[in-house]
Amino acid sequence: MRTFALHPDDPGPGGVNASVSPSQADLADAEALLGGLNEVQQEAARTTEGPVMIIAGPGSGKTRTLTHRIAYLIASKKAWPSQILALTFTNKAAREMRTRVTDLVGPEAKGMWMGTFHSVFARVLRREADKIGFSRDFSIYDTDDQERLLRELMLRAGIDAKKYTPRSVRGRISGAKNQMITPAEYARLASDPYEEVVARLYGPYNDALRKANAMDFDDLLAWPIRLFEQHPDTLKAYQQRWRYVHIDEYQDTNRAQYTLAKLLAAEHKNLCVVGDDAQSIYAFRGADIQNILSFQKDYPNATTVRLEQNYRSTKRIVAFADAIIKGNTGQLDKNLWTDNAEGDPVTLMEALSERDEAQKVERTIRDLHIRAGVPWRQFAVLYRTNAQSRSLEEALRRGNIPYRMVGGTSFYQRKEIKDALAYLRLAVNPSDDASLLRVINTPTRGIGAKTIDGLRRYAAEHGLSLWQAANEPRDAGLPNRAAKAVEDFTFMVSRFASKAASSPADELSREFIQETGLMQSLRDENTPESLVRLENVHELLNAVAEFAQADSDNPRTLSEFLQEVSLVADVDRLADDENRVTLMTLHASKGLEFTVVFVTGMEEGLFPLAKAAQDPTELEEERRLFYVGATRAEEALYLSYARSRYRYGESQGAVRSRFLDELEGTGDLLRTESGAAFRPRTSRFSLPDDGAQGGYRVEYDADGGYSYGSSPAQRRAAKSGYEQMDPHYYRQSLRPGAGKGAPASGRRVEYDDEFSQQAPGGRVVTGARVVHGTFGEGKVIAMEGSGERTSATVHFPRVGQKKLKLKFAKLRVIG
DNA sequence: CGCCGTTTTATTTTT
DNA sequence: TAAAACGGCG
C-alpha cells in the first residue's frame, strides 16, 4: 500500500524538504503506470532528471503524457504530490489533469499544485501578501477595472482621453509589464509623444493599484518576481517545495512567466515544458514564441522529446493541417503522422451571405446528426471574432439545435454580474477605487458626476482613496443633499465590510446585494431582459454559496471566491456533460477536440484580419490560428466563407481568404460541397498561364515592404490576385441598392461615401494606391473619420505607415 | 441630478 | 448594428 502526503502543505515527515527515495518496488509500480503510452511518450514520462522539452504536435497525447509523468513521479516516490507544480493554460486543463492523476495513483495525490500561472501565483501572493505591502484580500482587476482606473488618472493629469484612449494606454502598459519594463525604464525609452503620455501614466497607475490594494493580470506575474527578488528566503522555500515544475503550452508563455519558471526551477533543475511552436497564438497578449524556440539554449543539458504521432485526426486532416502550416517559415522540425484512417476530404463551403453561411453550417450539423448519428456535443463551430457568433446562433436557434457559446458575453462579463461582484469586492476591500466608481451610483442613488468630481478632487488633494474621501463627504465640501447620499452609501458598505471576514460568504453576499437595491431595480424595470438579469444575479449568489460550502469542514471565504472568479476563463466553465453544439472563437478552441469542426468566415479582412494581413509576423500568427482550428477536428473538417458580410451594420462584399488559395498539393484533401476538387484561385483572379504553381509566400522586399510570391513569375501571379485586383472590389455591396440607395450598374457600385474622399486622380479609398509629395508611393490600408476629419492610414514602402489627414496631405490616386 | 432622445463610434483574439 | 457618449430639459 502506497502512502502519500495527506495535506497539501505538509508532504509527509520532514516538511516541504522531505526527501523521498524510490525503492525497487516503487519503481516497478511506477513503471506499470506507463503501460498505456507509446514508446516516445514513455521516454518523455520517464525522463525525470533535469530540464526536458517535449515538442508535441496537435493530438499527440501530450496532456496524457504529462499526466502519466506526474503519476510516475508520485508512484516511484521521486516526489511527494505537494512537491509537484503543474502550470497549465486553462484551469479546466488543470482540473482534468488532477482528476486523471488521482485516478492513477489514488486520492492521496490531491496535494499537487495545478493551475494556470495566474491562479497559482495569485495563491502564492495571497500567502505572502504582507511581504510586499498588500493585504491578502487584494482585488484582481480585469481590463474594465484597469481602464476605469486609468480614465480616473487621466482626468486628474488632464490628459485627453479622446486622443489617448484608456484602452490603448492599458494595452501599452500591459505590454510593458509583460516585458518586465519598469515605469522608470519605460520613461527612458519613450520615443514618441504617445509613449511619453503612457510613461506619465504608468507609474501613477501602479501606485493607484497599490493604494487600491489591487493587482491587474500582469501584476499577478510581476509581483511574485519582485517578491522573490526582495525575499530570497521566500524564493528558496518555493524552490525547495517544488521539486518538479511542469509547464504546458509553453509556446504561449510571456517573459514574466519565463522568468518565474526559471526562478522556480533553479534549485532542482527539474523543469519540464510541453508545447508546439506551430500553435503559438497569443503573441498579442505578450506570449513570446522565443521561449520555446530557445529552450535548449537556456538549458543546454535539456532532453528534447518529439511527439509526432497524431492520435486525434484522420490522415487527410493531418495532411491538410500540414499544408496550412507550410505557409509559415521557421517552425521547429516536426514530422506529423498518424495511423488513423484516411478519412474524408475537407469540405469547403461557399455562401452568399453570413446568414447563408450559418444556414449551411446548421444544415450540415443536422444532417450529420441525423444520418451519421453524431451527437451534438461532438460539433464545434469556430470563428475569428466574437461578433460572428450572432448569425450562427440565430441559425442554430431557428433550427432548434442545442448549442452553448464560449466567450462573448459570458456569465462573468455581464453588467449585472460585474456590478454585483464590484459590491462584493468593495465589502472585502473598500479601498478598491475601481469597484467603488463602478457601483457608487448603480442603481442611481443621487450621486452624480458632480458629486463624484468633488470626491475625486478632495481625494487628490489629501492623498486619499475615493473610499476615504467618501467617508468625509462634508469635509470634501459636498452640498448637504449629495453628502447625505454619499453617507448613506458608505454606511451601507461599511456595515457589510465589517462583517466580511467573519460572516459566511453566501449569507453576507445575499444580504448585501439585497440591500444595495441592485435586484430591486431590476425587478422594477420589469422587462424580459431585466428579469433575465435578475435571474443571473441569483445565479451568482448561488455560485457563492456553492463555492463556500464545497468543503463543509473548511468553508471558503468571499475573498477567495472573488479572486478565483476573476481568473476563470470561459473555457473553464465549459461543462462536458451537456450535449450541445459548441460555438467559440478559434482562440478558445485551443486544447480541445471535436469529431466535426467548422471553421467559418474564411475571408480576407476577417481571417486573416485586415490589420494582420499588413504585417508578416501577424499574418503568420493568423496562419497558426488556422492550424489550431483545423487540428481540433477528429473526423470531419468544414471550412466556409461568405461572399458578403455585415460590417458596421452594412453589407460588404468579401473575398475568400488567402489561406485557402495558398494551399499547395491539396488535390484530394479539399473538396467543394459538390464534391469537386478544390481549385486554388477562382477565375476572378485567374493567373497568366506561366506555370506558377506555388502558393503566396509572404516575403520581405529589400526596401522593407513585402509582397507575395518569391519568383518573378509567382510575383506576377500574385499581383494578378490580391495586389492588382480592383482595390474597391471588396467594398462593393452585393445587394444592389443597399447602403445609400446607390444604383447597381454592373459590377462596380458606388463606393461608400463616408470613408472615401475625392482627390486628384480618383477617390481615396482603402486599397487605393496613392502618391505623396514627400513619402512617395504608398497604399491606403485604412480610412477613418468623415468630412473635414477624414484621414487615411497609408503604408509607404520606404517610410512605413503614416496617418494622414486628407484635408492637409496632398494625395494623388494612381490606382 | 437623472431621464430620454440623438449622435457617434467601433469590431481581433484574452489570462 | 448596437453600445456608448452626448446634450437638452424637467
DSSP secondary structure of A650-667: EEEE--B-HHHHT--S-T
Nucleotides on chain C within 7 angstroms of protein Cβ: 1-2
Instruction: Report which secondary-structure segment, H or E, holds A337.
Output: strand A337-338
Q: What is the pLDDT of residue A746?
A: 26
> A796 near A802, Cβ under 8 Å?
yes
In this complex, the answer to whether residue A793 has its CB under 7 A from any atom of chain B, a nucleic strand, is no
Chain A window 139-168: residues with CB closer than 7 Å to nucleic chain B are 142-143, 167
Comparing A184-198, A631-645, A768-782, the range with the smallest average pLDDT is A768-782
The residue from A137, A145, A249, A419 that is catalytic is A249
**Which nucleotide across the nucleic acid strands is nearest to A178, CA versus C1'?**
B15
> A427 near A557, Cβ under 8 Å?
no
Higher pLDDT, A793 or A596: A596
Most confident of A341-355, A520-534, A641-655, A703-717: A341-355
CA-CA distance, A308 to A302, in Å (whole number)? 19
The candidate with the shortest Cα–Cα distance to A378, out of A369, A367, A391, A389, is A369
CA-CA distance, A374 to A701, in Å (whole number)? 49
Give the mean pLDDT of chain A: 82
Residue A24 among the catalytic residues: no
Q: What is the 3-state secondary structure (H, E, C) of A224-247?
A: HHHHHHHCHHHHHHHHHHCCEEEE
Cell of A12: 509527509
Give me the DSSP letters along A677-733: BP-SS-GGGPPPSS-----PPEEE-TTS-EEE-SSHHHHHHHIIIIITS-TTGGGS-
CA-CA distance, A305 to A294, in Å (whole number)? 15
> What 3-state class would DSSP assign to A57?
coil
Cell of A264: 522556480
Q: DSSP class of residue A159?
A: -
Provide the pLDDT confidence category of residue A161 given band limits of 50, 70 and 90.
confident
Q: What is the pLDDT of residue A477?
A: 87
CA A24 to C1' B14, in angstroms, rounded, equals: 47
| pLDDT per position as a tens digit, A316-361 | 999 999 999 988 887 777 789 999 999 999 999 999 999 999 999 9
Phi, psi (degrees; rounded to nearest 5) at A531:
-70, -35
The residue from A41, A42, A62, A65 that is catalytic is A62
CA A186 to C1' C6, in angstroms, rounded, equals: 35
Provide the pLDDT confidence category of residue A528 given band limits of 50, 70 and 90.
confident
Comparing A501-510, A520-529, A759-768, the range with the smallest average pLDDT is A759-768
Sign, CA dihedral A45-A46-A48-A54, equals negative
- Say if residue A8's pLDDT is above 60: no
Provide the pLDDT confidence category of residue A699 given band limits of 50, 70 and 90.
very low
CA A569 to C1' B1, in angstroms, rounded, equals: 39
CA A798 to C1' B6, in angstroms, rounded, equals: 44
- Say if residue A745's pLDDT is above 90: no
Residue A102's CB: how many other CB atoms inside 10 A? 16
Cell of A600: 467559418
pLDDT average, residue stretch A385-405 = 92
> A526 near A577, Cβ under 8 Å?
no
The residue from A90, A279, A468, A766 that is catalytic is A279
Length of chain A: 815
Q: Indicate the pTM of the whole model.
A: 0.81
The residue from A128, A147, A248, A603 that is catalytic is A248
The candidate with the shortest Cα–Cα distance to A376, out of A399, A351, A348, is A399
Nucleotides on chain B within 7 angstroms of protein Cβ: 1-3, 10-15
Comparing A194-203, A246-255, A594-603, A772-781, the range with the smallest average pLDDT is A772-781
The residue from A177, A241, A632, A681 that is catalytic is A632
| pLDDT per position as a tens digit, A114-123 | 999 999 999 9
Nearest residue to nucleotide B13, by CA–C1' distance, is: A587
Q: What is the pLDDT of residue A531?
A: 85
CA-CA distance, A476 to A77, in Å (whole number)? 64
Q: Which amino acid is at A673?
A: E
The candidate with the shortest Cα–Cα distance to A475, out of A784, A4, A99, A464, is A464
Provide the pLDDT confidence category of residue A254 given band limits of 50, 70 and 90.
very high
In this complex, the answer to whether residue A236 has its CB under 7 A from any atom of chain B, a nucleic strand, is no
In this complex, the answer to whether residue A116 has its CB under 7 A from any atom of chain B, a nucleic strand, is yes
Q: What is the pLDDT of residue A512?
A: 95
- Say if residue A370's pLDDT is above 70: yes
Q: What is the pLDDT of residue A380?
A: 96
> What 3-state class would DSSP assign to A152?
helix
In this complex, the answer to whether residue A330 has its CB under 7 A from any atom of chain C, a nucleic strand, is no
Cell of A399: 433550427
Q: What is the pLDDT of residue A792?
A: 64
| pLDDT per position as a tens digit, A50-76 | 999 999 999 999 999 999 999 999 998
Higher pLDDT, A523 or A685: A523
Instruction: Determine whether A568 is exposed, middle or buried from the number of CB atoms within 10 Å of its CB (0-12, 13-18, 19+).
Output: middle
Residue A249 among the catalytic residues: yes
CA A483 to C1' C8, in angstroms, rounded, equals: 27
In this complex, the answer to whether residue A386 has its CB under 7 A from any atom of chain B, a nucleic strand, is yes
**Which nucleotide across the nucleic acid strands is nearest to A218, CA versus C1'?**
B15
CA-CA distance, A347 to A648, in Å (whole number)? 30
Q: What is the pLDDT of residue A21?
A: 66
In this complex, the answer to whether residue A808 has its CB under 7 A from any atom of chain C, a nucleic strand, is no
Chain A window 148-207: residues with CB closer than 7 Å to nucleic chain C are none
CA A521 to C1' B1, in angstroms, rounded, equals: 18
pLDDT average, residue stretch A17-37 = 74
Most confident of A232-241, A570-579, A692-701: A232-241
Provide the pLDDT confidence category of residue A4 given band limits of 50, 70 and 90.
very low
In this complex, the answer to whether residue A803 has its CB under 7 A from any atom of chain B, a nucleic strand, is no
Provide the pLDDT confidence category of residue A17 given band limits of 50, 70 and 90.
low
Residue A62 among the catalytic residues: yes
Strand A633-642 vs strand A644-647: parallel, antiparallel, or unpaired?
A: unpaired
Q: What is the pLDDT of residue A611?
A: 87
- Say if residue A454's pLDDT is above 60: yes
Please report how many Cα atoms fall inside a 13 Å half-sphere around the Cα of residue A777, on the Cβ side.
5
Residue A279 among the catalytic residues: yes
Chain A window 650-689: residues with CB closer than 7 Å to nucleic chain C are 650
A200-222: burial string, b at 16+ Cβ within 10 Å, e else: bbbebbbebbbbbbbbbbbbbbb
Q: What is the pLDDT of residue A37?
A: 87
CA-CA distance, A738 to A249, in Å (whole number)? 46
The candidate with the shortest Cα–Cα distance to A115, out of A126, A130, A131, is A126
- Say if residue A33's pLDDT is above 90: no
CA A531 to C1' B3, in angstroms, rounded, equals: 21
Q: What is the pLDDT of residue A330?
A: 73
- Say if residue A168's pLDDT is above 50: yes
- Say if residue A678's pLDDT is above 70: yes
pLDDT average, residue stretch A581-606 = 94
Chain A window 274-303: residues with CB closer than 7 Å to nucleic chain B are 284-285
Residue A632 among the catalytic residues: yes
Q: What is the pLDDT of residue A700?
A: 28
Nearest residue to nucleotide B10, by CA–C1' distance, is: A648
Q: What is the 3-state secondary structure (H, E, C) of A71-129?
A: HHHHHCCCCCHHHEEEEECCHHHHHHHHHHHHHHHCHHHHHCEEEEHHHHHHHHHHHHH
pLDDT average, residue stretch A14-21 = 55
In this complex, the answer to whether residue A450 has its CB under 7 A from any atom of chain B, a nucleic strand, is yes
CA-CA distance, A72 to A365, in Å (whole number)? 41
Q: What is the pLDDT of residue A20?
A: 62
Compute CA A536 distance to the chain's CA centroid, rounded to the nearest angstrom: 24
**Which nucleotide across the nucleic acid strands is nearest to A650, CA versus C1'?**
C1
CA A449 to C1' C7, in angstroms, rounded, equals: 15
CA A509 to C1' C3, in angstroms, rounded, equals: 30
CA-CA distance, A597 to A632, in Å (whole number)? 7
Question: What is the percentage of chain A residues whose pLDDT exceeds 90?
Answer: 53
**With the CA atoms of A474, A477, A480 and A482 taken in that order, what torsion angle do they form, in degrees rounded to the nearest 10?**
-100
CA A506 to C1' B2, in angstroms, rounded, equals: 33
Sequence-separated (6 or more) residues with CB below 8 Å from residue A88: A94, A97, A114, A115, A116, A248, A249
In this complex, the answer to whether residue A649 has its CB under 7 A from any atom of chain C, a nucleic strand, is yes
CA A648 to C1' C2, in angstroms, rounded, equals: 9
